[in-house]
Amino acid sequence: MSVEAIDEIPAEKYQTLGLTREDFLWLLRKMCEMRKFEERVERLFFEGQLIGPCHLYLGQEAVAAGVIKALDDEDFIISTYRGHGHAIARGVPFEALMAELFGRKTGTCKGLGGSMHSAMSLEHNILLASAIVGGGIPIAVGVGLALQYRKSSRIVAVFFGDGAVNTGAFHEALNLAAVWKLPVLFVCENNFYAFSVPHKKSFAGESIAARASSYGIKAYLVDGNDVIAVYTSGKDAVAHIRSGCGPAFIECRTYRKKGHGVYDKAEYRPQNEVQEWMKKDPIERFANNLMQLGIITKEEFETLNMEIEKALDVCVEKAKAAPCLDFSELWKLVYAEEEAHYG
């Protein structure tokens, strides 16, 4: 099965995609929310107000916005330790995410999960945010099997990085999903570094998408810094899955603006490479296109970002003031109080 390449989509083609002005503004707002949230989180860590492991989504905003826009709200998501962006795109409130980072009981995991699990929200159909590299991939296949067994029209989308594609679980999961034609959308956020290891030193193939295609899975190789290209591939992939033809795979080529985690200065990356990718900033590219089309003005774009900053001011103060989970409540989260249900 061949790989379909989707490069940057020029602004003059936007009007042919069936998207409304509200759709374009939704995509821009979500990406700005992710950017501002992560910039605030980074600042809070440097100030010592937040502690623990944290992996920022800065630079990869187009992937979460584009893919989740292509899904229905009822579809499931499996996220990763770099999951703040997935949660924001799905509509998890700033307050719950920030409270989780501060370890408060009002957080998405009652303050017990921290950043690496903060994207989890059953209310928003985000079943898991795994801290294990590639750990969510076979779990998504299990969810896909359950959906197929129940003859559900829902699908499950699983996000993971390029570092996950050299694990055994990746191959086992893709093979089973293809053989059983499960309703799974695999989304690889290829930011070209597995922590500090360059992609070219750990991967010899033509593309990750080609590797997925070799299992008989419909695959796309996409400009992951163009939100419209990501959305277009997502819509096509979702339609393929819902038609009962089995899983689909999207490799989104993108780049993180910072290191692997907040503690990492990413000095292992060549400066010329970094500068080239910074010119492809997904928010600047999309905002400029919308301004060119008259969908938003520069002043409206600046106002949008100021509104988000003010909302973050409020949620940080709320998170700081929220209580921590009482120690006596912890046992209730270990043992079930009711009988387990199967099927």
What per-residue confidence (pLDDT) applies to 87? 98
CA distances (Å), origin 56, targets 83, 140, 209? 8, 23, 24
Nearest to 35 by CA among 97, 85, 107: 85
pLDDT at 312: 98
Nearest to 92 by CA among 73, 108, 115, 70: 108
What is residue 325's predicted lDDT score, i.e. its pLDDT? 94
- Residue 287: the pLDDT is 98
Q: What are phi and psi of 335, to 5 degrees?
A: -115, 140
| Strand ranges in the chain using DSSP code E only, listed in sequence order | 3-6, 76-80, 126-130, 156-161, 184-190, 193-194, 197-198, 218-223, 248-253
What is the per-residue pLDDT for 319? 97
- Gap between the Cα atoms of 226 and 220, Å rounded: 14
- In the chain, what is the greatest distance between 2 CA atoms, to the nearest angstrom? 60
- Taking only the tens of pLDDT, the chain with its 343 residues reads 789 999 999 999 998 999 999 999 999 999 999 999 999 999 999 999 999 999 999 999 999 999 999 999 999 999 999 999 999 999 999 999 999 999 999 999 999 999 999 999 999 999 999 999 999 999 999 999 999 999 999 999 999 999 999 999 999 999 999 999 999 999 999 999 999 999 999 999 899 999 999 999 999 999 999 999 999 999 999 999 999 999 999 999 999 999 999 999 999 999 999 999 999 999 999 999 999 999 999 999 999 999 999 999 999 999 999 999 998 888 788 877 766 665 5
pLDDT of res. 134: 95
Residue 183, SS3 per DSSP: coil
pLDDT at 341: 63
Q: Are 94 and 84 in contact (CB under 8 A)?
A: no
Q: Give the burial class of 295: count Cβ atoms within 10 A of its Cβ; 0-12 exposed, 13-18 middle, 19 or more buried.
A: middle
- How many other C-beta atoms are found inside a 10 Å radius of the C-beta of residue 9? 19
